[in-house]
Structure 1
């Protein structure tokens, strides 16, 4: 069976949840391995038929370890035709839910030497009850400024699973 490597740079778990969904979509054709890219500086990408990186935004930035991983594995990423997706709360708004409309994806493409051909962006989730006090207050402030949910007792998932399913099909057919 063909193998797919699903790498994540996740903070609150929605990126991992999206990758698990993609893993189920690919299950008939691929044996998937889900790995935290923060924990492995290098990996032999040639061992896999497909490679996908999912990364989340926190306070407007990707984790610096994502860029380190890309720098350490640039040639292999380029050779493997790896795909990429971004998860953020801004993507809950129409127009900001596409690679072209996402300021985070555009910033990523400017900062990263790796320019994936297959790329997408998905809305994340709010998990207020799970956040530490400081994070909860900061996220409420950001959500208030952007017209989002501010009730700290709620958990709200904005991910459009139909779009994730479409991306899974696209990724699977690369």
Structure 2
């Protein structure tokens, strides 16, 4: 099967509303405010990626390099449009971001995932395998201590790369 022509690029502030709309179509992702997505596109554009097909948003990853650990790339959110699922787009976006010069010093990737989010677990396990990284996880933001019982515990997932494996990703 021929893969569609996709464009991977840094977002701009003008993309904020389209990204917000994309995320709203990607249940069960948390919908942040449109303003939050606008700020991600503007302030964090170097560590976010927007994927388009014929100008329409198909994928989005928001992330940042953690201030307290400049060797760690934190992935905030991964969104793939329903019509683009099954193309390996999530792994391709993660690889694209880690290949950017801004992530050259990163030897770890982190994200948080609830136990019930099987799609995210599958993506990050698959990415760790393909990139030659080691995946570990532990409870981080807990339902009772951090979310006052209103949201499920988020597990900190860490993928540690050997430098050679990161280059191959």
Between 1 and 2, higher relative CO (CA 8 Å, sep ≥ 6) is seen in 1
Fold match by TM threshold 0.5: no
TM-score by length of 1: 0.33
More helix by share: 1
TM-score by length of 2: 0.34
More strand by share: 2
